Amino acid sequence: HAQLPKFDTSPGKWAYSTRTEIPGMGSIPVSFEQCVTQKDIDEGRNLSAQKDAGIDCKYSDMKQTGSRYQFKATCTGKDLPEPMVMTYDMTANTTAIDSKMTMTGGNTKAMGGKMNMTMNAKRLSAC
How much helix, strand and coil, in percent to the nearest 5, is found in the chain? 10, 60, 30
CB 21 within 8 A of CB 29: no
Query: What is the pLDDT at residue 1?
Result: 44
CB 83 within 8 A of CB 75: yes
CB 94 within 8 A of CB 122: no
The percent of residues in the chain predicted with pLDDT above 90, rounded, is 54
At 43-98, the pLDDT tens digits run 777 776 555 567 788 889 999 999 999 999 998 888 888 899 999 999 999 999 99
What is the pTM for the complete model shown?
0.79
pLDDT over 90 (residue 33): yes
Query: What is the pLDDT at residue 49?
Result: 52
